[in-house]
Amino acid sequence: MKHLTALQDLFQAEVDQLNLGTAPSKLYDPMHYIMQLGGKRLRPILSLMGAGIYGDPSRAMPQAIAIELFHNFSLIHDDIMDAAPLRRGKTTVHKKWNDNVGILSGDGMLVKAYQYLAQCAPAVLPEVLQTFSQTALEVCEGQQMDMDFESMDEVAAATYIQMIQFKTSVLLGCAMKVGALVGGGSKKDADALYQFALLLGTSFQIKDDYLDVYGDPEKFGKQVGGDILSNKKTLLWIEAKRRAAVQNIDFGAYAAMEPNEEKVHSFQELYKILGVDAFAKEQIDHYYQLSLEALDSVEVPAEKLAPLKEFAAWLYSRES
Amino acid sequence: MKHLTALQDLFQAEVDQLNLGTAPSKLYDPMHYIMQLGGKRLRPILSLMGAGIYGDPSRAMPQAIAIELFHNFSLIHDDIMDAAPLRRGKTTVHKKWNDNVGILSGDGMLVKAYQYLAQCAPAVLPEVLQTFSQTALEVCEGQQMDMDFESMDEVAAATYIQMIQFKTSVLLGCAMKVGALVGGGSKKDADALYQFALLLGTSFQIKDDYLDVYGDPEKFGKQVGGDILSNKKTLLWIEAKRRAAVQNIDFGAYAAMEPNEEKVHSFQELYKILGVDAFAKEQIDHYYQLSLEALDSVEVPAEKLAPLKEFAAWLYSRES
């Protein structure tokens, strides 16, 4: 993944010299703080790769920054809504400062995202804007759906997948499409690339659910079983609940267990008994294959798409 | 003000049929709720008037909606930050639903604002976007300055005026400028019209401070003396504190009074003794005159500007 590392370094160098503003400091300091917390930088990398298909990846640097700003804005506000103390192992913005600072600096970041986004040729600006705003709304819809799910008894697997697509995958699609448009790709190419990243992101999110249950604690980075302990409605949980009902297994008894290691083990076993582990793997593969198929509609020489396929394979095989 | 009422009616008709989205309902219901709470609709009226100078006011209707969406987004988030229970006499969004709903539906409204804003000719889109984003950031900066002031001992009058300009007046300027650009006005005209509305808005905000102290309770609509009771650092407060120090008057003793009617009367008297009432009136007049002077740079026949002058005079003479 030499290509990927190079793009990550290119992007990090840009983040290191990012100056979003200085005063009032409580508005701008949190923006720089969260932008420096790191992460895989998947979204901006996709923007740079999108432009890279057609020429110099750094043509999409302002849009890569815009997408990462948007992503981090949503993290600040989500962390307030979830009352989360930690983000990437560091104190969240609203804990380091307070809720008001988190709300307002998040708002400012969203505006900043639009400022960077608009730094492109006027000819592509309307399409870039429309794609981004549509995506941003879907991310809000996905977050509200996620919160709504907490108080719902039944969630269908298809509804769950729509939620994770809105909450997460559409932004990957948007990142890629905007990069392609800014880099000079046709609308048709850009739409196919959107589908590629959307579907890859869907595979990625289901893998996230899977790794939470069956990940290697040494590699996963987060606590394995965290979703189980909090009775989170993941795809495995939802499908297991449905299958348990068919087989007259008392799923409620599992859910009511004390949140400890035994509960995690019990669920790991239950999921295997119900074939939910295999189901999740199938879904991960399914969306991964669909994402690769989407690339067939991109009208460029095959070698131009090699980095994307390498990126997809890397994401598919991830264990953290 | 026949012209003004006609534009208000035109705008309200648009709000009445506004469909921002339906599901998830907790995302979209609060948007429609707050958009229907009413208010003077000063900002969208300015957009319509800006376009009206050059042709049909309704050419700027999407931008008028955008500006009002932005304004109401900022109200939702400000009300969370201030823990305010009421807005325009009705329950605030975060009280009617909860803080999370307020944060997220506010975020969605900001995105919606960009969607409506972008509904203009591609030729003016970059300038429209840049003006709006710059303004939106200044509004965030103004809100943070306002919160910072609460814990500051000393605030200079000039800093206070910068704060109210950022928090409030720049959005009036933006509304007017965007309307003019979309309506076909030149960049030079649009900039002059921005200054007109910015300065008029500054006069308007200082008048707000003044009316809080000396307004007619029958007409004001809000509790007269509310700012005094909460020791809010208004322009009158800041200037009175400065003048009191020069005259060896113990301003701290006034500030420390129990928050009741006697305190309001004492401050009304103190402000008169210190000449702060006259100072505020001068400032209101000063910015009003400056706003009218800004219109001299707009290169259209004088009669085209008559509605703006009428609007300004109406705002200047307001008692609520």
pLDDT at B191: 98
Q: Does B1 touch chain A (CB under 8 A)?
A: no
Can you give the residue ranges of every domain in chain A? Answer: 7-163+170-183, 186-305+309-313
pLDDT of res. A1 = 58
Q: What pLDDT is stored for residue B2 in this prediction? A: 66
What does chain B come to in residues? 320
**Cβ–Cβ < 8 Å for A66, A117:** yes
Q: Do A118 and B133 touch (CB under 8 A)?
A: yes
Chain B contacts of A148, Cβ < 8 Å? 24, 26
CATH 1.10.510.10 fits A7-163+170-183, yes or no: no
User: Could you tell me if B117 and B62 are in contact, meaning their C-beta atoms sit under 8 angstroms apart?
Assistant: yes
- Residues of chain A positioned with their CB less than 8 A from the CB of B134: 115
Share in percent of chain B as helix, strand, coil (round to 5) = 75, 0, 25
DSSP 8-state assignment for residue A87: E
In angstroms, what CA-CA distances link B95 with A225, B76, B85? 35, 10, 6
Q: How wide is the angle at C-alpha B174 spanned by C-alphas B63 and B117, nearest 5°?
A: 25
For chain B positions 113-172, those within 8 Å of chain A (CB to CB) are: 114-115, 118, 122, 125-126, 129-130, 133-134, 136-137, 140-141, 143-145, 147-148
Given this chain, do its domains B7-163+170-183 and B186-305+309-313 carry the same CATH topology? yes
Q: In whole angstroms, how far apart are CA B211 and each of B205, B219, B312?
A: 10, 10, 17
- Residue of B70, B114, B174 to mutate when probing chain A, most A C-beta within 10 A: B114
Q: Closest partner residue to B103 among A23, A27, A103, by Cβ?
A: A103
Spans of chain B, pLDDT less than 50:
none
Q: What angle do CA B127, B133, B137 make, to 5 degrees?
A: 145
B135-150 residue pLDDT tens = 999 999 999 999 999 9
What distance in Å separates the CA atoms of residue B63 and residue B174, rounded to the nearest whole number? 10
Three-state secondary structure along chain A? CHHHHHHHHHHHHHHHCCCCCCCCHHHHHHHHHHHCCCCCCHHHHHHHHHHHCCCCHHHHHHHHHHHHHHHHHHHHHHHHHCCCCEECCEECHHHHCCHHHHHHHHHHHHHHHHHHHCCCCCCCHHHHHHHHHHHHHHHHHHHHHHHHHHCCCCCCHHHHHHHHHHHHHHHHHHHHHHHHHHHCCCHHHHHHHHHHHHHHHHHHHHHHHHHHHHCCHHHHCCCCCHHHHCCCCCHHHHHHHHHHHHCCCCHHHHHCCCCCHHHHHHHHHHHHHCCHHHHHHHHHHHHHHHHHHHHHHCCCCHHHHHHHHHHHHHHHCCCC
ipTM metric: 0.96
The reported pLDDT for the residue numbered A317 is: 93
Nearest to A144 among B24, B115, B126 (CB): B24
What confidence score (pLDDT) does residue B267 get? 97
Numbers of helices and strands, H then E, in chain B? 17, 2
Q: What are A59's strand-pairing partners?
A: none
Q: Which of A210, A238, A165 is nearest to A317 (CA)?
A: A210
| pLDDT tens-place values along chain A, 320 residues long | 568 899 999 999 999 999 999 999 999 999 999 999 988 999 999 999 999 999 999 999 999 999 999 999 999 999 999 999 999 999 999 999 999 999 999 999 999 999 999 999 999 999 999 999 999 999 999 999 999 999 998 999 999 999 999 999 999 999 999 999 999 999 999 999 999 999 999 999 999 999 999 998 888 777 889 999 999 999 999 999 999 999 999 999 999 999 999 999 999 999 999 999 999 999 999 999 999 999 999 999 999 999 999 999 999 998 87
Question: DSSP strand E in chain A: where?
Answer: 86-87, 90-91
Q: How much is the pLDDT for B315? A: 94
* Homologous superfamily of domain range A186-305+309-313: Farnesyl Diphosphate Synthase (1.10.600.10)
Return the residue matching tokens 């160098």: A13
Contact residues, A window 43-82, toward B, CB-based 8 Å cutoff:
77, 80-81
Written as six digits, the tokens of B238 are 């800041």
pLDDT at A273: 97
**What's the first-to-final CA gap in chain A, in angstroms?**
16
**Distance (Å, rounded) from C-alpha A196 to C-alpha A62?**
22
Least CB–CB distance from B107: residue in A27, A77, A130: A77
- The predicted model scores a pTM of 0.97
Q: Burial letters for B134-166: b for 16+ Cβ neighbours within 10 Å, e otherwise? A: ebbbbbbbbbbbbbbbeeeeebeeeebbbbbbb
Distance CA B286, CA B298 (A): 20
Amino acid of residue A225: G
Choosing among A137, A159, A171, which should be mutated to test the B contact, i.e. which has the most B CBs within 10 A? Answer: A137
Confirm if B109 and B31 have CB atoms less than 8 A apart.
Answer: yes
